[in-house]
Structure formats: structure tokens, C-alpha cells
């Protein structure tokens, strides 16, 4: 670089711009930018002209029109009289829900299997190995179909059920759970929960400081559980039990169609959601397991030996020495898996889970506004991915090796 | 998913450009490339369904073959593109297919807002319900609280919402992208009810494990006039589609069949003469040869032949003519005369 600068600056008479590598560089970049912009302009203007010429409606006003179709899962109030915009919002929330729960279970299963892969126990080791090789080599769509159709056929029909503790019920219509009904005074339980979380945060800080100062340990985990669960439970009894449970109602007499669980009583987790979450988490977990294994193996074995030499047992060695160092290797590829899981959730459309692509597809078909809907789809998945990546990058920086 | 979205995006953005670039009318394009690209369903017995050898058959398929016969005198000059309910309009708008003959309901919004024209009705359908016999349900009004399986992105989904709302009955909708998954989920017992156009119910019932265990309820809750669709703003091609269908219906009315069409060419009936091109120049007026309708009937048959071969009482679907009979036999099928 310095040589080049000397050449151009040091020349007695300025050479022609044509021969100035810097000017040529800028020129080529300008040409490229102009070409890209021109291509973009050409595509957009051509599309607009053609839409007008073919009398195809365009614009965003359709979002306010009445949707007219129903859905079997919505986290916010939605009915047939809601707008198309609302329908897309319902689909978006459903995508978020399945992605969030999928990420949680994929991480959990992934870490367990990844660590099991390194176990000295031959059976556990081989089981984890088989899981990874079996699951990651079968296409995801097939796995979704497997969970939906194979499992659907093996659980009881609509007029029967499997129950656990007489509280959780499973049949082909979904997993039924009791629904909490919040009455006046129940807001105190919410406050108590927030208080418990804040308190456990401070206890953790205090415990760490005490351990640094005195070396004495404090049962942080159990005290945290006590604060977060215990405080709201005590509040519940103190305020006179303001929350009741609405149990699913299983009808056993009357016309056959009416038998089985009554609609809209209790919480119903639809089988489409169960199948999709199971398939996404189990599939992604197989990749996460390999990432975790690679991350742990990247930490030199000397670290384990050193920890053992200091008298740490296997558990604390893994938790306090190996995993924190392995995380630095694990997090970047883990981010990609989270992004994959979120994007893969669009396969929901195959099994009637009303995610953004499914709801958007229906809106697209009713309004015919393909370009707008596809624009929304791409914008939403892009933003979700960018937000996830931004968060994981932030977390990665926190976990990165701090050089002192 | 990219498999689904890519054609849509490319279709919407680039394909639209491609049709402009070509500049010619659809009829000229079709004549130049030597075949008609026809959009059909992904497999609906009786309407458009590939057999074991991959040959497409059905009422909707016959219409495309008839158009090929009218343009080229060869019913095999057609290529088929299976389309989902969601993809179908974009595929037509973008020029990926020349005509959409895919049990598509003619509605005002589709006719006016999508840049499309419906060329007529080749099957008068209506939405019905199928249930298991052992439910003991005899009327759709007893379906309160039922879970209902259907296809997403169709008028069906709207009609079922309207029906349950109008009758103040709660329901759970389970809407799938493809018909095969609807059948699978209904067969597995995920839903109490399967709803789609009545013709579709009869067709899909054949795919169930025990077709005999299911009945189609007699109520019809909507009007579903199904017909071929072409792009708006290309009147020449619109005429070809419209008059191909009319020719098949007129041929039935005049008693012209694929078996007797050669004898009928020497008929004294002026209506028959005009239809078969021995009198007048009606074919030339729509940019075809004068024996266009002769080719249709000779190669594909009249409407009755097509109906009976694909969905009629002697087929597994066993649908009677009903409202699809000719106007002078108690049905709705009525074609303007060739004159």
C-alpha cells in the first residue's frame, strides 16, 4: 500500500487518472453500485408496470380488509371478522412460539446428547451416537410427517383419552391442560414473582461475592428456586387463593359427535404444534449435540487433568472449567442452528400448523397480492434471524476470552 | 419451502417481465411453441389426476386437451403443470401456464382483482361435508363443536367459516396445504368432518382406508362454479378458451359425438354445419382453422362423453349429471349458439 502511494504521490507530474490504481478502484466500484441500483430499479419498475397493465391489485390497503377465515391456534384474540393484518400477526406469533419452544428443547436435548457422546459409559455413548446419526440424516420434512401422521395414529381417538394424574390428557385432538383463571387479587402473585426474580438475582450476586471473599459456598440454585416459586405460592395462600384452574371437560354421554373434550374449555395444545415442536427440536438437537461435543473436545485435556489435580470432581470440572471454555467454540455455530430452526419452522404449512407462512399463504390466496405477502414473509424471517444473531453475538462477546 | 416460494417470487417479479418481453399474444406464443401449458391440480381424481403411467386424465384435463385439439388438431399437444391452490393464480398471471383448468371457483374478487378472466363453467359444484357414518350425523346443522379438516387458501375455508358463524356453532378448523395431507389427517381421525367441493369429497373418499364408512351429507352450503381461467387483456386467447368449452357443450346438445362426428360432417342441420365448420368461417374468426370444433369432438369428445368418462355414474366417483345436465334436460349447462 505504501509503495503504491509513493508511486502516485511521488511522481513529478501527476499521471493520468486512468493509470491511478486508486481512481480506477473507485471507478469500478461506482460502476458496480450503479449497475446494481439500475438492475433493482429495472425489476421494481417493470413489476409495477406489469401489475398495472394486467389489472392486478397492489398496495397495502388489503391488510385492513376482513379475513373471513378461522384458525385453530391464536395467542391473541382472533375471529373470522378480524382483518388480514391481524391474521398475519397471529401467524407471526405462532411462528415465534414454535421457534422459541423449539430452541429451548433443542438446546436442552442437544447439550445432554452432546455430553453423553463423550461419556465413558459404552451404552450411553453408543445410544447418543445412534441418535445423532439417525436423526440428522433424515430430511426434516419426513420427520415432521413422521411425528404428525405416525404418532397421530398411535394415540387414542377423539372419544378416548390418556390421562396423567387426571390433570393432563392426551388424545388425537391434542394435549389438554388445566387453564389458570385469574381472579381479582391475582395480580399480587405477578408482583411476587417479579420480586422473587429480583431477590434471587441479588442473592446470587451476594453469594458470589461471599465466595470470593471467604471461599464459603451458598446453595444459590435452591435458594433461587425457593424465591421464584415459593414467594408467589405463599402470596397465593395469603391473598386467599385468587387463582382457580379450569379443567378440560370430557363429555361421555350424548350424541357421539359431542363426546370427547369440549371445545374452548381448558388449554388445548394442538397436535400440529406438538408434532412440529418435537420434529424441530429433535432434528436441530442432533446438530447441536455435535457442536457441543466438538466444543468440549476443543478444550485441552490438560484442563481436565488440572481441575482433577485441584480436587474437583467430574461434575464441577465439567460445569466450572470445561463448559465455560467450550462455550466460546460452541456459540457461533449454535447461532446458525437457532436460525435454521426458526426458518425451518416454515415447514409447518405441511401439517396445518397456522404459522406465518400458512396464514400468509391463505391471505395471499384470498387477496392475490403475492408480491406484498412474500415481501412480508422475507422481511419477518430476515428480522427474526438478524435479531437472533445480534443477541447471540452479544452473548458471544460476553463469553469470549477476556485478556487481562 | 423454497421449492414453493421460488416460483412464486420469480413468477411474480421476473415472469411478469417475461410476458412483456415476448410481446405476442398467448395464441401466437402457443402456436409458436407448439403446445399449451395447462395448470392443473396436484391430483384430484375425475378432474385432473395422473395415472400410473403419468398420463393426466379428468374433466379439467379434457378441457385443456380440447383447446389443444382446437389450436393444433392434436389433443396431445399439452403439457401439464400441477399447482397448489396457493400457487395457481400467480402461475397464470406470470405466464408460467397459458390456461388454468384446476377446479377453480369463479368469484367476483378473482374475476376482477387478479387480472384474470373466467372463460365459463365446466362443472357446477357446491361445498359439502363428509363425516364418518358411526357419528350418526344426518345434517350439517348437527356439526356443532366439530373439528373440520380442509385445504388452505381456498374459498372452502371461507365458506365453512361463514356457515358455522351463521349458525352460531363453535368449530375447530385444521387447514392443510395439500389435499393428500387433508385426507391423511381425516383418515387418522384428527377431524370429525372433511369439507371441500362435493365433487372433491366423492373423489377423495376413494383414497380413504374404508370409503364405505363415510358419507357425504346432503347439504350444499355454497355455490362453486368451476371453470377454466385465462389472463385478462388477451381477448383472442380468452375467446379460444371460452368457445372450446362452448363447442363441447353445443356438440352434446346437437348430438355430435366422437363416434359420429365424421358422419355428422355431412349433416343437413345448419347448426351442426356451423359447429363443424362446413358452413361459415367461425374458426377463422377466433384465429383457428374452421374445423376447430370438429377437431375437439373428434379428439376429445363432447361434454357428455368427457363427463361420463371421468366423473359419471360408471366411474368410481359415480356422480350423476344433476345440475350439470344440459339446460333442456333440467341442468344449468347452456352454451351460446355458434352462428
Q: Lowest-pLDDT range, A69-78, A176-185, A322-331, B173-182?
A: A176-185
Residues B143-156 have pLDDT tens digits of 888 899 998 877 88
What is the CB-side half-sphere exposure of residue B128 using CA atoms within 13 A?
22
Of B93, B172, B178, the CB nearest to A263: B172
B219 touches chain A (CB under 8 A): no
Question: Largest Cα–Cα distance of chain A, in whole Å?
Answer: 103
Of A257, A368, A371, the CB nearest to B143: A257
Question: Is the CB of A256 less than 8 angstroms away from the CB of B181?
Answer: no
Is pLDDT above 70 for B34? yes
* Contact assessment for residue B239 and residue B247, using Cβ atoms and an 8 Å cutoff: no
How many residues belong to chain A? 404
Interface test with A, best of B6, B110, B188 (most A CBs within 10 A): B188
Integer-rounded Cα Rg, in Å, for chain B is 21
Average pLDDT over residues A148-177: 83
Average pLDDT over residues B303-307: 95
Residues B189-200 have pLDDT tens digits of 889 999 998 888
Q: What is the DSSP string of B84-137?
A: -TTTHHHHHHTTS-SEE-SS-B--HHHHHHBSEEE---SEEE-EEEEEEGGG--
Contacts of A347 in chain B (CB under 8 A): 1
Of A173, A361, A374, the CB nearest to B147: A173
Q: For B149, which residue in chain A has the nearest alpha carbon?
A: A352
Q: Which fold has domain B2-124+226-329?
A: D-Maltodextrin-Binding Protein; domain 2 (3.40.190)
B86 touches chain A (CB under 8 A): yes
Is pLDDT above 90 for A259? no
Closest CA to A86 of A104, A62, A110: A62
B233 touches chain A (CB under 8 A): yes
Quick one: CATH architecture of A84-150+271-399? Orthogonal Bundle (1.10)
Interface test with A, best of B19, B100, B116, B172 (most A CBs within 10 A): B172
Residues A19-72 have pLDDT tens digits of 888 888 898 999 999 999 999 999 888 888 887 777 677 788 888 888 888 888
Average pLDDT over residues A336-340: 91
Q: Lowest-pLDDT range, A258-262, A337-341, B90-94, B245-249?
A: A258-262
Q: What is the pLDDT of residue A15?
A: 66
Q: What is the pLDDT of residue B29?
A: 93
B220 touches chain A (CB under 8 A): no
Contacts of B192 in chain A (CB under 8 A): 158, 257
Q: For A364, which residue in chain B has the nearest alpha carbon?
A: B86
A352 touches chain B (CB under 8 A): yes
- Set of cell numbers at residue A102: 423449539
Mean pLDDT score of chain A, rounded to an integer?
A: 86
Contacts of B171 in chain A (CB under 8 A): 70, 263
The CA distance from B233 to B241, in Å, is 14
ipTM above threshold 0.90: no
Of A271, A349, A365, the CB nearest to B190: A271
Q: How confident is the model at residue A188 (pLDDT cuts 50, 70, 90)?
A: confident
Average pLDDT over residues A362-366: 86
Question: Is the CB of A53 less than 8 angstroms away from the CB of B232?
Answer: no
Is pLDDT above 60 for B16? no
Contacts of B235 in chain A (CB under 8 A): none
Of B13, B110, B115, the CB nearest to A55: B115
Q: What is the pLDDT of residue A404?
A: 60
Residues B203-241 have pLDDT tens digits of 888 888 888 899 988 889 999 999 999 999 899 999 999
Residues A207-253 have pLDDT tens digits of 888 888 887 877 878 888 888 888 888 888 887 777 777 888 887 77
A248 touches chain B (CB under 8 A): no
- Set of cell numbers at residue A79: 375471529
Q: For A262, which residue in chain B has the nearest alpha carbon?
A: B145
B127-222 CATH: 3.40.190.10
The CA distance from B115 to B92, in Å, is 10
Question: Is the CB of B154 less than 8 angstroms away from the CB of A357?
Answer: no
Q: What is the pLDDT of residue A204?
A: 87
Contacts of A159 in chain B (CB under 8 A): none
Q: For chain B, what are the domain ranges?
A: 2-124+226-329, 127-222
B12 touches chain A (CB under 8 A): yes
Q: What is the pLDDT of residue A14?
A: 62
Q: What percent of chain B has pLDDT over 90?
A: 58
Q: What is the pLDDT of residue B5?
A: 47
* Contact assessment for residue A178 and residue A167, using Cβ atoms and an 8 Å cutoff: yes
- Set of cell numbers at residue A298: 476443543
Residues B114-170 have pLDDT tens digits of 889 999 999 999 999 999 988 888 888 988 888 999 988 778 888 999 999 899 998
Number of helical (H) and strand (E) elements in chain A, helices listed first: 15, 8
Q: For chain A, what are the domain ranges?
A: 1-10+18-37, 84-150+271-399
Q: What is the pLDDT of residue B57?
A: 94
Amino acid at each position: 500500500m505504501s509503495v503504491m502511494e509513493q508511486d502516485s504521490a511521488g511522481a513529478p507530474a501527476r499521471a493520468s487518472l486512468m493509470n491511478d490504481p486508486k481512481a480506477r478502484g473507485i471507478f469500478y466500484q461506482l460502476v458496480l453500485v450503479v449497475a446494481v441500483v439500475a438492475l433493482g430499479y429495472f425489476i421494481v419498475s417493470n413489476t409495477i408496470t406489469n401489475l398495472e397493465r394486467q389489472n392486478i391489485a397492489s398496495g397495502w390497503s388489503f391488510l385492513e380488509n376482513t379475513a373471513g377465515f378461522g384458525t385453530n391456534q391464536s395467542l391473541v384474540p382472533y375471529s373470522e371478522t378480524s382483518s388480514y393484518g391481524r391474521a398475519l400477526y397471529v401467524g407471526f406469533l405462532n411462528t415465534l412460539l414454535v421457534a422459541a419452544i423449539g430452541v429451548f428443547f433443542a438446546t436442552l436435548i442437544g447439550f445432554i446428547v452432546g455430553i453423553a457422546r463423550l461419556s465413558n459409559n459404552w451404552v450411553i455413548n453408543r445410544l447418543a451416537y445412534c441418535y445423532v446419526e439417525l436423526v440428522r440424516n433424515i430430511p426434516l420434512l419426513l420427520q415432521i410427517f413422521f411425528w404428525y401422521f405416525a404418532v397421530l395414529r398411535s394415540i387414542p381417538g377423539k372419544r378416548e383419552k390418556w390421562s396423567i394424574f387426571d390433570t393432563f390428557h392426551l388424545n388425537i385432538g391434542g394435549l389438554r391442560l388445566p387453564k389458570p383463571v385469574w381472579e381479582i387479587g391475582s395480580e399480587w402473585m405477578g408482583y411476587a414473582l417479579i420480586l422473587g426474580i429480583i431477590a434471587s438475582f441479588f442473592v446470587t450476586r451476594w453469594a458470589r461475592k461471599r465466595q470470593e471473599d471467604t471461599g464459603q459456598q451458598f446453595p444459590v440454585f435452591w435458594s433461587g428456586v425457593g424465591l421464584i416459586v415459593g414467594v408467589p405460592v405463599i402470596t397465593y395462600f395469603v391473598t386467599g387463593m385468587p387463582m382457580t384452574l379450569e379443567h378440560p371437560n370430557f363429555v361421555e354421554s350424548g350424541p357421539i359427535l359431542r363426546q370427547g373434550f369440549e371445545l374452548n374449555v381448558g388449554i388445548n395444545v394442538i397436535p400440529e404444534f406438538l408434532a412440529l415442536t418435537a420434529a424441530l427440536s429433535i432434528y436441530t438437537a442432533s446438530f447441536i449435540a455435535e457442536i457441543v461435543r466438538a466444543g468440549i473436545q476443543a478444550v485441552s485435556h490438560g484442563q481436565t487433568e488440572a481441575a482433577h489435580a485441584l480436587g474437583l470432581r467430574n461434575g464441577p470440572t465439567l460445569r466450572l472449567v470445561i463448559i465455560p471454555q467450550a462455550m466460546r467454540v460452541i456459540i457461533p455455530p449454535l447461532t446458525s442452528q437457532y436460525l435454521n430452526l426458526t426458518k425451518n419452522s416454515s415447514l409447518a404449512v405441511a401439517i396445518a400448523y397456522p404459522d406465518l407462512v400458512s396464514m400468509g399463504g391463505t391471505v395471499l390466496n384470498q387477496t392475490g397480492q403475492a408480491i406484498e405477502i412474500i415481501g412480508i414473509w422475507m422481511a419477518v424471517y430476515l428480522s427474526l434471524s438478524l435479531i437472533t444473531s445480534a443477541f447471540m453475538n452479544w452473548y458471544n462477546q460476553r463469553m469470549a476470552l477476556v485478556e487481562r | 419451502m423454497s421449492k414453493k416460494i421460488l416460483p412464486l417470487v420469480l413468477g411474480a417479479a421476473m415472469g411478469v417481465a417475461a410476458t412483456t418481453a415476448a410481446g405476442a399474444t398467448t395464441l401466437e406464443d402457443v402456436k409458436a411453441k407448439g403446445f399449451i401449458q395447462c395448470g392443473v391440480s396436484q391430483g384430484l381424481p375425475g378432474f385432473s389426476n395422473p395415472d400410473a403411467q403419468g398420463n393426466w386424465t379428468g374433466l379439467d384435463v379434457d378441457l385443456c386437451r380440447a383447446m389443444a385439439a382446437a389450436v393444433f388438431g392434436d389433443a396431445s399437444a399439452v403439457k401439464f403443470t400441477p399447482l397448489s391452490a396457493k400457487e395457481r393464480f400467480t402461475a397464470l398471471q406470470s405466464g408460467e401456464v397459458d390456461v388454468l383448468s384446476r377446479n377453480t371457483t369463479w368469484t367476483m374478487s378473482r374475476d376482477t382483482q387478479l387480472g384474470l378472466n373466467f372463460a365459463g363453467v365446466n362443472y357446477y359444484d357446491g361445498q359439502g361435508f363428509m363425516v364418518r357414518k358411526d357419528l350418526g350425523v344426518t345434517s350439517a346443522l348437527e356439526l356443532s363443536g366439530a373439528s373440520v379438516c380442509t385445504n388452505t387458501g381456498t374459498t372452502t375455508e371461507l365458506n365453512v367459516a361463514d356457515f358455522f358463524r351463521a349458525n352460531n356453532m363453535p368449530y375447530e378448523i385444521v387447514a392443510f396445504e395439500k389435499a393428500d395431507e387433508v385426507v391423511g389427517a381425516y383418515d387418522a381421525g384428527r377431524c370429525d368432518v372433511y369439507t371441500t367441493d362435493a365433487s372433491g369429497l366423492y373423489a377423495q373418499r376413494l383414497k380413504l382406508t374404508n370409503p364405505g364408512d363415510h358419507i357425504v351429507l346432503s347439504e350444499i352450503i355454497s355455490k362453486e362454479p368451476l371453470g377454466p381461467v385465462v389472463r385478462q387483456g388477451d381477448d383472442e386467447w380468452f375467446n379460444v378458451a371460452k368457445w372450446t368449452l362452448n363447442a363441447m357443450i353445443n356438440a352434446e346438445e346437437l348430438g355430435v359425438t366422437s363416434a359420429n362426428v365424421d358422419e355428422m360432417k355431412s349433416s343437413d342441420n345448419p347448426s351442426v354445419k356451423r359447429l363443424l365448420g362446413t358452413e361459415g368461417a367461425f374458426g377463422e374468426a377466433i384465429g383457428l382453422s374452421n374445423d376447430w370444433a370438429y377437431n375437439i369432438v373428434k379428439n376429445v369428445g363432447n361434454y357428455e362423453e368427457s363427463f361420463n368418462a371421468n366423473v359419471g355414474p360408471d366411474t368410481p366417483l359415480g356422480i350423476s349429471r344433476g345440475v350439470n345436465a344440459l339446460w333442456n334436460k333440467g341442468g344449468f349447462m347452456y352454451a351460446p349458439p355458434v352462428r
